[in-house]
Amino acid sequence: MSSKGTDVVIYIAKEESPNVLPAVPVWHTLRRNSDSLKKTVSLTESDEIVDSRFDQGSIATSGEATGTIEYELSALSQDILFEGAAGNVFVEDALTGVATLEIGGPELATFTIVKHDKKLSFIQVFSGARIGELTIQGDTEGKITGSATISATSYANPDVSPVTAPLAAPDTPFMSSINVNTFKINGVSTVGTACAESFTITINNNLTARPCLGNQSIIPNRYTEGKVNIGLSATVVLTEQSKAWIPYVESRETMTSEIGIEDTQGNAYGFHFPKLELDNDGMSDTNATDDHTLALEFKQVKVAPTITRSVA
């Protein structure tokens, strides 16, 4: 008997402290396209010389419990991943109902992630899991997708799943390029003026494995987060409006950007970048057939960008 990806369910719960779940954890069923979550082991071979030419074997010296979760963006489905990457939580305004998530909080939350192959009864538990990097990307055609890179500090294969009473996955529709209703740079819409063709948002917490002697585990028992790098890349058509942005690479004046997305049910997300530096204008080469474009590469500096959410 073998299994397929459709036999595997992933659950995620926020921890009280690294590797420790609350007394009553809240388990979420995670929507995803694919994942690469697994434990990997690194081996070191012996260099000993004895009275034969045979290899003298190897030992397990290090390992990791990591992977990447790929998803299609849909309302409420990835919020726990957004919060994990941001180091903060959504805070709802009681008057407007709009929730705001500030990116770049002082400390990343940790999670327990359970990957359960129900057909084979194969259970993998990743504890102390942090989100090192999160991406969201969209194009002029197709789905808006993203990924979250996971690094855990503990791994187990229990016979019984720790998951109880999991919340069902939200059934909100996944979003596509048609759902992008706002794309502004410096407060001005790019529609009909600079024509944005694609975008990628990246939050990178620069996690570093810091294993300790005496831990007696091949899995690193701690990760530390470094400086958070928040980037926005966007491809736009070279026009009268967009050519005015090229000097920003040299001047280092800051810019702003806003991307709004709303699904067919009225659930909406906004991605707000209040202080961007343009690191590369990415001007395309010239040929006989293609439009000139700018592959803009921005970096958010000094202040927190935000994600806003309003639920229908």
Q: What is the pLDDT of residue 71?
A: 98
Q: What is the pLDDT of residue 1?
A: 77
Q: What is the total count of domains within the chain? A: 1
Instruction: Examine the pLDDT at 109 and tell me if it is beyond 80.
Output: yes
Q: What is the pLDDT of residue 290?
A: 84
Burial of 59 (0-12, 13-18, 19+ CB in 10 A): exposed
Q: Is residue 170 domain-resident? A: yes
Q: Is the pTM of this model over 0.75?
A: yes
Sign of CA dihedral 181, 300, 206, 12: negative
Instruction: Read off the pLDDT band of 134 (50, 70, 90).
Output: very high
Q: Is residue 47 domain-resident? A: no
Q: Is residue 12 domain-resident? A: yes
Q: Is residue 267 domain-resident? A: yes
Instruction: Read off the pLDDT band of 6 (50, 70, 90).
Output: confident
Q: Which of 52-61, 218-227, 258-267 has the highest mean pLDDT?
A: 258-267
Q: Is residue 46 domain-resident? A: no
Percent of the chain with pLDDT over 70: 100
Count the alpha carbons within 13 Å of 166 in the hemisphere toward its beta carbon.
20
Match 């074997």 to its residue by tokens: 57
**Cα(256)–Cα(191) distance, rounded to whole angstroms?**
16
147: tokens are 């990924």
**Cα(299)–Cα(273) distance, rounded to whole angstroms?**
9
The residues, ordered by sequence, that sit 6+ positions from 311 with a Cβ below 8 Å of its Cβ are 75, 76, 97, 99, 267
Q: Is residue 53 domain-resident? A: no
Q: What is the pLDDT of residue 289?
A: 82
Residue-wise DSSP of 208-245 = EE---TT---SS-S-EEE---EEEEEEEEE--HHHHTT
Q: Is residue 222 domain-resident? A: yes
Sign of CA dihedral 167, 270, 282, 177: positive
Q: Is residue 56 domain-resident? A: no
Q: How many helices (H) and strands (E) are present in the chain, helices listed first? A: 3, 21
Domain that holds residue 90: 5-39+63-310
Q: pLDDT tens digits for 169-199?
A: 999 999 999 999 999 999 999 999 999 999 9
The residues, ordered by sequence, that sit 6+ positions from 248 with a Cβ below 8 Å of its Cβ are 255, 277, 278
Q: What is the pLDDT of residue 156?
A: 97
78: tokens are 């990835």
278: tokens are 């343009």
Q: pLDDT tens digits for 244-287?
A: 999 999 999 999 999 999 999 999 999 999 999 999 999 998 88
68: tokens are 């990447």
Rounded to an integer, the average pLDDT of 298-307 is 98
Residue-wise DSSP of 264-292 = TTS-EEEEEEEEEEEEE--BPPP-SSSPP
Instruction: Examine the pLDDT at 144 and tell me if it is beyond 90.
Output: yes
Q: What is the pLDDT of residue 80?
A: 98
